[in-house]
Amino acid sequence: MNDSFEPQPALQPPFAGKIMLVGIGPGSVEHMTGRARAAIAEADVVIGYVTYIKLVADLIEGKEIIRKSMTEELDRAVSALEAARAGKKVALISSGDAGVYGMAGPTYEVLFQSGWTPDEAVQVEIIPGASALNSCAALVGAPLTHDFCAISLSDLLTPWPTIARRLDAVAMADFVVALYNPKSGRRTRQIVEAQRLFLRHRRADTPVAIVKSAYRRRENIVFTTLDRMADAEIGMLSTVLIGNSNTFVRNGLMVTPRGYANKYDMEEGGATRDGERAGRSLSTGLLGWLETLQAERAAGASVDILAARHRLPADYIRDTLAEPWNDEVATEGEGEA
């Protein structure tokens, strides 16, 4: 136990300090939340990467400002803790959301390392904001209407095989993907590798949007396709959005359908398709699929054939067929009518 990390019992609320991890959203003041503005207003000290400090310049007059460079994340957290233990209120600013590749993680790591616990007088508050994927999506259309992933291509803290494995998995499983930190002056090959891994599973004409500086002065949006993605201008302020197999671009808008066409005939005024019911699971939903699986098995299909047909692991198919509750399925399904 390190004595220098002991809480200071003399400082109790309202005299105790506080660390507020503020997500300021894309960067324009109108897209900050009320709580984010209030947190910066009540702070004695504001700490952040220089670019983010500039984005909130109108809110921080007269405050102590600690500007840090991009790579000094742990330093920022240490400075915040020191100021808070001295009784100050500290706003630690992240663009987007403080929890998404932001300062929330490094701050808790530093706090735990120092012996801090939530019982200590220094309180911590995380103030959520719209992250880059939300802001970029809002500008290009509606790409995130279905399941999506965020992957950082930065290998400054993550081994490349980990990143490559993730790219491969989500390309195969047909997620919409937001690539954070896609490219920098030094890191130029990661986006080429990402493209290569994606092209193993996805069509060359899969829609891609590259959004730079969303909602800021130099905002720039480029639509392209997966096979041309790596040739586009991409930098540190870019987020790359790769559509799934259903994503389309129409009239300059990138949209991922939610799946209404699976249930409703969109051409015919929205009539419900045969075998489907509004407000209920699809006929190919879990219970319907379990019935199909059992019927196919009963008709003689092997576990391996079923695994290949449904593109799922053989042991999952086998376990699913072996579950005792399969008998209830048909009954329960019918009971919902």
Q: Which of residues 211-270 bind its own copies (CB under 8 A)?
A: 250-253, 255-260, 262-264, 266, 270
Regarding 282 and contact with its own copies (CB under 8 A), the answer is: yes
Which DSSP letter does residue 257 get? -
Residue number with CB closer to its own copies (64 or 332): 332
Residue number with CB closer to its own copies (156 or 204): 156
CB atoms within 10 A of CB 9: 8
Residues 109-148 that bind its own copies (CB under 8 A): 109, 112-113, 117-118, 126-131, 134-135, 137-139, 141-148
Taking the C-alpha atoms of residue 191 and residue 180, their distance in angstroms, rounded to an integer, is: 11
x/- map, 304-323, its own copies, by CB under 8 A: ------xxxx-xx--xx---
Q: How far is CA 2 from CA 5, 30, 110, 113, 115, in A?
A: 6, 45, 14, 11, 8
* φ and ψ at residue 142, rounded to 5 degrees: -145, 65
Taking the C-alpha atoms of residue 194 and residue 196, their distance in angstroms, rounded to an integer, is: 5
Residue number with CB closer to its own copies (45 or 132): 132
CB 271 within 8 A of CB 264: yes
Residues 6+ apart with CB under 8 A from 199: 226, 227
Residue number with CB closer to its own copies (131 or 238): 131
Residue number with CB closer to its own copies (22 or 45): 22
Regarding 275 and contact with its own copies (CB under 8 A), the answer is: no
Of 49, 52, 175, 198, which lies in the binding site for its own copies, with binding defined by CB under 8 A?
175
Regarding 94 and contact with its own copies (CB under 8 A), the answer is: no
Residue number with CB closer to its own copies (27 or 64): 27
Regarding 295 and contact with its own copies (CB under 8 A), the answer is: no
Regarding 174 and contact with its own copies (CB under 8 A), the answer is: yes
Residue number with CB closer to its own copies (64 or 135): 135
For its own copies, how many residues bind (rule: CB under 8 A)?
117
Task: Kindly give the pairing relationship between strand 220-225 and strand 207-212.
Answer: antiparallel
Taking the C-alpha atoms of residue 67 and residue 102, their distance in angstroms, rounded to an integer, is: 16
Of 10, 157, 298, 337, which lies in the binding site for its own copies, with binding defined by CB under 8 A?
157
Regarding 5 and contact with its own copies (CB under 8 A), the answer is: no
Angle of the 314-322 helix axis to the 303-310 helix axis, nearest 10:
120
Residue number with CB closer to its own copies (64 or 187): 187
Of 40, 56, 104, 226, which lies in the binding site for its own copies, with binding defined by CB under 8 A?
104
User: Which tokens sit at 275?
Assistant: 């075998």
User: Which tokens sit at 152?
Assistant: 């950082």
x/- map, 176-215, its own copies, by CB under 8 A: ----------xx-xx--x--xx--x---------------
Closest approach, Cβ 93 to its own copies, in A, equals 15
Taking the C-alpha atoms of residue 120 and residue 207, their distance in angstroms, rounded to an integer, is: 50
Residue number with CB closer to its own copies (64 or 315): 315
Closest approach, Cβ 192 to its own copies, in A, equals 9
Closest approach, Cβ 69 to its own copies, in A, equals 9
- Does residue 117 sit in helix, strand or coil? coil
User: Does the bond joining 106 to the residue before it have cis omega, within 30 degrees of 0?
Assistant: no
Strand partners, 240: 179, 210
Residues 24-53 that bind its own copies (CB under 8 A): 25-26, 29-35, 37-38
Strand partners, 48: 67, 93
Of 9, 13, 161, 300, which lies in the binding site for its own copies, with binding defined by CB under 8 A?
161
Burial class (CB in 10 A: 0-12, 13-18, 19+), 149: middle
